[in-house]
Amino acid sequence: MRNPKPAQPGVLDKTYALGRQTKKSWRYRLKRRTYEIIRSINKYCPSKKKSILDIGAAEGLMLSAIKRMSPEAKCVGLEYSKELIERNRDEKINLVQGDAQDLPFQNDSFDIVTAAAVIEHLPQPAKMLAEARRVLKKDGVLIMTTPDPFFEKIAGMIGHLDKEKHLETFNLKKLKKCLEDAGFQILLAEKFMLSPMGFPLELKIEKLLKLFKLDFILLNQIIVGKK
């Protein structure tokens, strides 16, 4: 395995894991990203869940949920921060230290690659997309989420986000072009998450907003691309 490069802007540490334990909004964002990614896995890869790579796995909480959903799948997480890897408590998943822009895996290794709230942290996001495509098997699927740039800016202005950690923001149009430039076929590109805290009936309300073309007010985005 190649050694990770020195720490760089955008890399998170153990305070991120602590925040996901103590801050309601952080816990909810994890919950919604996980829900959306698992829903996409079930929709676009119903019979191909043998090998899953989660890029930017942090302490592995989302990957653990995916493993529970697909217990027979080989679930591997790629994380740059050794501090976060050391906080993993799930022996059923394997976390590997490495760079999302230089994946330490062979070509055609995975059926599914996920990357939740990762691309905005990277100095060279195009490299991550190229690497994700390289390690995917034929017809493999990449599933990513990233915050909406407008609401990201507002969150930063009110101190809700650490602006130094997010290096570049992407709207859906830009995301689609990035994936297409990397050779992916777009299967899904939509927004989700009405509230950063969550509330009853949120999913039903979001469905209505999408139906009436009012989804521009949603805070997060998901995109699915096929190799």
Q: pLDDT digits over 86-141, tens only? A: 999 999 999 999 999 999 999 999 999 999 999 998 999 999 999 999 999 999 99
E strand spans, the chain? 51-55, 74-79, 94-97, 110-116, 136-147, 185-192, 220-226
* 127-160 tens-digit pLDDT: 999 999 999 999 999 999 999 998 777 665 555 5
| Cα–Cα distance, 216 to 220 (Å, whole number) | 10
Is the pLDDT score of 7 beyond 60? no
**What does pTM read for this prediction?**
0.89
Pseudo-torsion of CA 12, 89, 26, 218, nearest 10°? 100
* 19-48 tens-digit pLDDT: 566 667 778 889 999 999 999 999 999 887
Residue 1: per-residue pLDDT: 39
Alpha helices in 80-224 (DSSP H): 82-85, 125-135, 149-157, 172-181, 202-211
Domains and CATH numbers, the chain: 14-226 (3.40.50.150)
| Cα–Cα distance, 137 to 111 (Å, whole number) | 6
Closest Cα partner for 225 from 180, 167, 162?
180
Q: Band of the pLDDT at 4, cuts 50, 70, 90?
A: very low
Which residue(s) pair with 53 in the sheet? 76, 113
Structural contact between residues 104 and 96, judged by C-beta atoms closer than 8 angstroms = yes
